[in-house]
Amino acid sequence: MLRHLVSAALVLVSSTAAAQSRPDPVASVPVLGPLVGRPASELADVIERFSIDRTGLNRRYDADDSPDQRRRMREFYAGWQTRLKDVDFVKLSQEARADYVLLAHSCGIRSRSWTAAIRCAPRSCPWRRLPTACSPSETHGATS
């Protein structure tokens, strides 16, 4: 319980500092090596940290469809994708490999969705809902 409170406090402090200084998106994502442990999956702590960070960001950027929310969420997922590349996939157990692939896939899809949301901002396509990606025909009325 204490670990969860400390993690939540760190997320709040880091998201506030990141919002003020606009650092490199990878800087707000921890180095994942120390979080890789030996519970059921070596990535259990990594996934828990990802979930806590995402929850903190969703609370901080709670104005749906705002430019700041779109930018920060894109940076969040891109940062996690970058940090996941630092994990030695070969050394992971089968269960941790499955967790790695699922987390990497999820971050990739969501990063691309938030990137598309930035390109397709509500002023140009007001019927869109985030974070789904939009095709060129949806955003510009073109047919294929």
Kindly state whether residue 11 falls inside one of the protein's structural domains.
no
The pLDDT of residue 66 is above 50: yes
pTM of the model: 0.56
Residue 95: give the domain boundaries. Answer: 39-140
Total number of domains constituting the chain:
1
Kindly state whether residue 96 falls inside one of the protein's structural domains.
yes
Kindly state whether residue 12 falls inside one of the protein's structural domains.
no
pLDDT tens digits, 111-128: 887 777 666 665 545 445
> Which is higher by pLDDT, 21 or 106?
106
Distance, CA of 116 to CA of 127 (rounded, Å): 14
Distance, CA of 125 to CA of 62 (rounded, Å): 21
Kindly state whether residue 101 falls inside one of the protein's structural domains.
yes
Kindly state whether residue 100 falls inside one of the protein's structural domains.
yes
pLDDT tens digits, 90-105: 999 999 999 999 999 9
pLDDT tens digits, 128-143: 555 544 444 444 444 4
Specify whether the backbone of 141 is left (phi greater than 0), alpha (psi in -120 to 50) or beta.
Answer: left
Kindly state whether residue 108 falls inside one of the protein's structural domains.
yes
